[in-house]
Amino acid sequence: MKTAGLSPRWLFVTTIVFLAGVFLHLPVTDFCDWLAREYGFTAYDDAVRLGAMTLGTGAFLAVWLWPDRHRVPIGIAVTGLLALAVIAHKVIVVNAIESIHYPQYAVMAVLLARSGFGLEPAWLGATLLGAVDEGYQAVALPRGAPDYFDWNDVLLNGVGAALGALIVVMTGFAGVKNGRVPSMARWAGLALAIACAFVVNPPIWSPFLEATPGGRLFHRMSASEAMVVLAIVYGLVVAVEARVRRRGGL
């Protein structure tokens, strides 16, 4: 993949933004917990959910109304990602504040693209950084995070990164480089990762749902489930970028 011509300034900005997200996790969690105590969890959760829905609706309308000849493939891709987000919030999300993963890792993907990475490496890098963040939370945070590696959040990070990648495609931001991963390496590596995930952490279907201490039901994704869905998201990013490039859009 192409990584020549990277911008040290933007790489520095990307690093600072990532580290801020990692080390501000507890302060942000404490602030959200204070809001929930102050106004009641239901009111707090409903307000956050409404905000997320408003942003999602705004993104949907912005993509479909964007005056660009590539609007249809990008619009279809964004619609699919937003539909996936809706399903995720019905099945794997416990607290509406987890919607923060989408803009957080959309920004990471945009920053990596601005740093000089191709679009595909930018998505891969942002998603990998999301996995690193979740690993740090599981191992190092004394509170405010689950005591296990949270594949649910890794998936949300990957969806957010894909939305950021599509923003780059839609706007042609920074004349993003054609830094694509060789096709055979991409799909062989992905197939190997999925196969390993099924061996190490296969899906557990019974019970499919578990309850939080507050009584909310959700599904805790295994590595294998998350990898399959992330592969679909990855394929979507690759397909849209390839289509737009063939038509001279980037």
Secondary structure element (H or E) that encloses residue 70, with its range:
none
Tokens representing residue 30 in the block: 């404490």
- Residue-wise burial string across 27-42, b where 16 or more C-beta atoms lie within 10 A, e elsewhere: eebeebeebbeeeeee
Query: What global pTM score does this model have?
Result: 0.92
Residues 6+ apart with CB under 8 A from 154: 127, 130, 131, 134, 226, 230
Of 182, 187, 166, whose CA–CA distance to 113 is shortest?
Answer: 166
- Per-residue pLDDT of 19-35, as tens digits, reads 999 999 989 989 999 99
Tokens representing residue 19 in the block: 């580290």
- How confident is the prediction for the chain on average, in pLDDT? 89
pLDDT at 248: 66
- Per-residue pLDDT of 167-210, as tens digits, reads 888 887 545 555 566 778 788 888 999 999 999 999 988 889 99
- For residue 238, the Cα-to-chain-centroid distance in whole angstroms is 15
Of 18, 221, 22, 15, whose CA–CA distance to 141 is shortest?
Answer: 22
Of 168, 117, 108, whose CA–CA distance to 6 is shortest?
Answer: 117
- For residue 162, the Cα-to-chain-centroid distance in whole angstroms is 6
- Per-residue pLDDT of 89-118, as tens digits, reads 999 998 889 999 999 999 999 999 999 888
CA distance 14 to 206: 41
CA distance 35 to 104: 20
